[in-house]
């Protein structure tokens, strides 16, 4: 059995981050986590471009536009949807998850999904630099991993026998 060995080095990558302003405190912390992780992994800060959008529902449209430029190896989507008393939560969650999946399917550009879907602000804060870590940092790693993996899949793992 052989597996592809994937580096988590972000050196030389061009990355776009789409981040929602809605629930700004939480999203700001997700963004900070993602930027710190990318820098730790060797990304050039000038090669990381951030697009703010009003809310999570708008993330897929911006992610698609960025992916279609052909300039970015991956897009990182960051947002926080918090359950209220109406079905709005479900529609926003469905819109952003379906939308991001369609962008990946249609463009082939990896889009890391860092949109929190939580019952309350406490759950979201715990995942935006609190007790459960920082989802922004986690999905930054996922983006790097997918770029590196996709670049290798045309060749067999371990090189040609
Ligand atoms: N957008 C979010 O990112 N998080 C939310 O929790 C949220 N809630 O609860 O309503 C939310 N709504 C706004 C939505 O994403 C759009 O920006 C808006 O509907 C305009 O299209």
pLDDT in tens, 146-157: 999 999 999 999
Strands (E), 35-84: 48-53, 74-82
- 88 counts as catalytic: yes
Alpha carbon of 88 to those of 85, 100, 121, 131: distances in Å?
8, 18, 16, 27
pLDDT of 62 reads 99
73 touches ligand 1 (CB under 6 Å): no
pLDDT of 161 reads 62
Mutate to test the pocket of ligand 1, among 19, 63, 81 (most ligand atoms within 8 A of CB): 81
Best CA proximity match to 71, nearest among 98, 38, 41, 49: 49
Best CA proximity match to 75, nearest among 40, 41, 101: 101
- pTM for this structure? 0.97
The position carrying tokens 């981040």 is: 19
pLDDT of 16 reads 98
Q: What is the pLDDT of residues 78-136, one digit of tens each?
A: 999 999 889 999 999 999 999 999 999 999 999 999 999 999 999 999 999 999 999 99
Mutate to test the pocket of ligand 1, among 57, 84, 113 (most ligand atoms within 8 A of CB): 57
> What's the CATH superfamily of 15-46+55-133?
Lumazine/riboflavin synthase (3.40.50.960)
pLDDT at 7 over 70: yes
Cβ-contact 40, 76 below 8 angstroms: no
């Amino acid at each position: 059995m052989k597996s592809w060995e994937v580096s988590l080095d972000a050196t030389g990558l061009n990355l776009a981050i789409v981040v929602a302003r809605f629930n700004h405190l939480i999203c700001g912390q997700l963004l900070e986590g993602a930027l710190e992780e990318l820098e730790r992994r060797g990304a050039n800060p000038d090669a990381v471009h951030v697009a703010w959008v009003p809310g999570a529902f708008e993330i897929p449209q911006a992610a698609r536009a960025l992916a279609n430029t052909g300039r970015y190896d991956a897009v990182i989507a960051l947002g926080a949807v918090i359950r209220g008393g109406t079905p709005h939560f479900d529609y926003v969650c469905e819109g952003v998850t379906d939308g991001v999946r369609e962008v990946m399917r249609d463009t082939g550009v990896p889009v890391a999904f860092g949109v929190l879907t939580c019952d309350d602000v406490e759950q979201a804060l715990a995942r935006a630099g609190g007790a459960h870590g920082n989802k922004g940092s986690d999905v930054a790693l996922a983006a790097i991993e997918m770029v590196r993996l996709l670049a290798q899949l045309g060749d067999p793992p371990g090189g040609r026998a």
